[in-house]
Structure 1
Amino acid sequence: MDTRLLRTLLVLARSGSFTAAATELHLVQSTVTSQVKALERHLGARLFDRLPGGARLTEAGRRAVEHAREVLSAEQRLRDAVRGGTAVEGDVRIGAPESVCAYRLPQRIADVALRRPGITVHLSPVGTRDAIAGVRTGSLDLALVLEDALMAPGLKVDAIAAEPIELVAAPGVPVDERYFLLEEGCSYTDRFVRELTATPSITRFGSIEAVRSCVVAGLGWTVLPRVAVAEQLDAGTLERVRELPDSTLFLVTDPRRTPSAAVRVVAEALS
């Protein structure tokens, strides 16, 4: 079997769009369509439902994706072994919170790319639950999770850094118990809300940029990692109300899976 068909399967499954898959794979859309049809003929099953909103995996497609990851991982390990470690290449899929994706990972990934240009890192902003699930199913090679403590039975969990957390507001904003916070499931904001003695007005958003913009405009207070508000603190558009307890950044991997050389290189860079 041509393993390029399996790569197309995984990209289309992740993107849910023939157009997006073609762009990522540097192919024309008709080639992606042809490759998917060829794989369906080879496996004797329909892998995707073609819907107006995009491509959705069938039950057979979900099973195929799981095994395709294993095949491609084995292929990469074979290449690593044959080359004797002289060349390291391959895809590495990482899930992490938005703040980590935006502020912590770019420089680390750039350093890896400089040393190992054959490695391609795919970042997905995800919360703790999806990050753990992704490592368990194999859709993620590595996950970074911000929590006070983390239990993930069957997975390897390593504390790799402390993330300072700040309560901030625009200068002169009164204490009116109005907060703009990230959505529920964000460990440090959930902890902050649990420890409040009053019942405040809370507006939640799915992005750091939306939360920070509201607070810079003087609409209320927020809780964010220091790295996400460092520029505004330096510029004076935000000020520290008080420092909160740190969160811990954990690296999560699945010890049942043998990592490729590329995954090992990236994991070491993150640690």
Structure 2
Amino acid sequence: MDTRLLRTLLVLARTGSFTATATQQHLVQSTVTSQVKSLERALGARLFDRLPTGARLTEAGRRAVEHAREVLAAEQRLRDAVRGSTAVEGDVRIGAPESVCAYRLPQRIADAALRWPGIAVHLNAVNTRPALAGVRSGTLDLALVLEESVAVAGLRATALGVEQIDLVTAPGVAEEERYFLLEEGCSYTDRFVRDLAPTPTITRFGSIEAVRSCAVAGLGHAVLPRVAIADHLDAGTLHSVRTLPETTLFLVTDPRRTPSAAVKAVIDAIS
């Protein structure tokens, strides 16, 4: 059985949303739907009830989730045995944008912690410039940045996937030049501002929650990653005015430094 189907099962069971699952897996929603149907056919049971409020596990689905975790853990143990891995422990320091820290990393870090309890991951919510500076200085072991491209002398940048970005507002809000955006240094909001007509009204926050709350309250428009608003889009409390250019998620490391076994394990978990 393709273990990718099991990973999709676990993400959908956790999010309850095909949209959010597609975003977290860097897939289109039709692929998630197809993978779930394929798994249901292979197991001969309906795993989810498709409801207006989202996808809900059936009794068969709950049993499948329990065994899926065991299968994926066994797969990892097989990989470890073949590679001859030894004890993996120690601190791993990661710099990443708030949206990545909040929506991309927690589950993957939790999975890594289950496999290697000796790892301690320290997340720093930072934008691109301090993240790259941290990797260069050695205060960070690795960084995840959202940019159109990354070309920094001495650092290695590996594209992991793309992040969908939307201009959103609450239903019924008229077109107006009032925007709630993340603080300067956020690549996709800075790019959006560069393309705006003159004299818009812009309020910037350092928190995705603050930006999203203003948009949900109908105070104006916001620019946010799809992963941060998927539930609101599904519930209809926000709608996408238009899709903005995608931004790429890069893993940045310093090839001059030899990563510890713990750093390698976390890189494997998030890649």
Q: 1: CA distance between counterparts of 2:246 and 2:257? A: 31
Give 2:164's aligned residue: 164
How do 1:177-216 residues align onto structure 2 when only pairs under 5 Å count? 177-216=177-216
Alpha-carbon deviation of 1:149?
1.1
Deviations 1:77-100 (CA, angstroms, capped at 9, x unpaired): xxxxxxx74211111000000000
Give 1:103's aligned residue: 103
Alpha-carbon deviation of 1:195?
1.1
Greater Rg, structure 1 or structure 2?
1
Identity of aligned residues (%): 74
Q: Report the 3-state secondary structure (helix = DSSP H, G, I; strand = E; otherwise coil) of the residue aligned with 1:171.
A: coil
Give 1:135's aligned residue: 135
Alpha-carbon deviation of 1:243?
0.8
Q: 1: CA distance between counterparts of 2:202 and 2:151? A: 29
Alpha-carbon deviation of 1:219?
0.4
Q: 1: CA distance between counterparts of 2:130 and 2:265? A: 23
Give 1:144's aligned residue: 144
Give 1:217's aligned residue: 217
Q: Please, which moves more after superposition, 99-108 or 194-203?
A: 194-203
Q: 2: CA distance between counterparts of 1:221 and 1:85? A: 50
Unaligned 5+ runs, structure 2: 1-83
Q: 2: CA distance between counterparts of 1:243 and 1:147? A: 17
Alpha-carbon deviation of 1:114?
1.1
Unaligned 5+ runs, structure 1: 1-83
Aligned pair count?
188
Amino acid at match of 1:248: T
Give 2:57's aligned residue: none
Q: 2: CA distance between counterparts of 1:115 and 1:215? A: 39
Q: 2: CA distance between counterparts of 1:268 and 1:157? A: 15
Give 1:28's aligned residue: none
Amino acid at match of 1:132: L
Q: CA RMSD in A?
A: 1.0
Q: Report the 3-state secondary structure (helix = DSSP H, G, I; strand = E; otherwise coil) of the residue aligned with 1:184.
A: coil
Q: 2: CA distance between counterparts of 1:219 and 1:157? A: 38
Q: 2: CA distance between counterparts of 1:119 and 1:270? A: 14
Q: 1: CA distance between counterparts of 2:103 and 2:177? A: 28
Alpha-carbon deviation of 1:270?
1.4
Q: 2: CA distance between counterparts of 1:183 and 1:228? A: 16
Alpha-carbon deviation of 1:110?
0.7
Alpha-carbon deviation of 1:235?
1.1
Q: Report the 3-state secondary structure (helix = DSSP H, G, I; strand = E; otherwise coil) of the residue aligned with 2:269.
A: helix
Amino acid at match of 1:163: E
Give 2:7's aligned residue: none
Q: Report the 3-state secondary structure (helix = DSSP H, G, I; strand = E; otherwise coil) of the residue aligned with 2:209.
A: helix
